[in-house]
Chains A and B, each alone.
Chain A
Amino acid sequence: EAQVTQNPRYLITVTGKKLTVTCSQNMNHEYMSWYRQDPGLGLRQIYYSMNVEVTDKGDVPEGYKVSRKEKRNFPLILESPSPNQTSLYFCASSLSSSWDTEAFFGQGTRLTVV
């Protein structure tokens, strides 16, 4: 089954404790991205990757890091989480970055930073 898998689904952590949210896709997609969803703001792009070892900032990259060492994986790293990073996070993948390509989303990771 074609899917984008995120882990964990739920996470509560304390300020400053490094964490990683994993994302994996089994569709051999080139393009992957991370979004955060906040009330009244919709989904905002954090980082994206056009292919292995190619990553770039989205609209809200501050406080986040990513890596793309393999095509299927695109982890999101919070080196020193802060309460304003409490949010619902979605990983997405698509065949390419072409403007008419459908994006497939993971089920989301609800992160709470206390």
Chain B
Amino acid sequence: DQQVKQNSPSLSVQEGRISILNCDYTNSMFDYFLWYKKYPAEGPTFLISISSIKDKNEDGRFTVFLNKSAKHLSLHIVPSQPGDSAVYFCAASASGSARQLTFGSGTQLTVLP
């Protein structure tokens, strides 16, 4: 049973528009959430994170929103650029857990020029 779910395997967006990637989780013990970006033939790289004490975290063009009551988070990319085309993984962690990250299945974002 997947505790972190990304229900959209793929998303296509026009360059300059907003990309919204969604993630749902079921484990109420999760209190820290991260997004990783992965290009082909490379390992995932950290993008942005948010603690459960916040509902929003912003870093340049990337903003992550957390809705704890809905157990839902989203990543907004504004404006989207062709270089943003990659697979995005949502991940979650529970403080006190040594097993660190639980990942979603990923969403392939394609930004069209």
Contacts and interface: CB of A to CB of B under 8 A. Distances in A.
Contact of B100 (A90, A103, A104): A103
B27 interface: no
A42 B104 contact: yes
A43 interface: yes
B60 to A, nearest CB: 17
A50 B89 contact: no
B22 interface: no
Contacts, number: 70
Contact of A99 (B4, B32, B42, B104): B32
Contact of B93 (A56, A99, A107): A99
Interface in B61-113: 89, 93-106
A105 B31 CA distance: 22
A42 B105 contact: yes
Contact of B99 (A41, A48, A104, A107): A48
B89 A43 contact: yes
B49 interface: yes
Contacts of A48: 98-100
B32 A42 contact: no
A108 B96 contact: no
B107 to A, nearest CB: 10
A102 interface: yes
Given A100-B32, A106-B43, A45 B51 contact: no
Interface in B1-37: 2, 4, 6, 9, 31-32, 34, 36
Contacts of A99: 31-32, 93-97, 100
Given A42-B105, A42-B106, A43-B89, A105 B43 contact: yes
Interface of A: 4, 31, 33, 35, 40-45, 48, 50, 56, 58-59, 90, 92, 94, 97, 99-100, 102-108
Interface of B: 2, 4, 6, 9, 31-32, 34, 36, 41-46, 49, 51, 89, 93-106
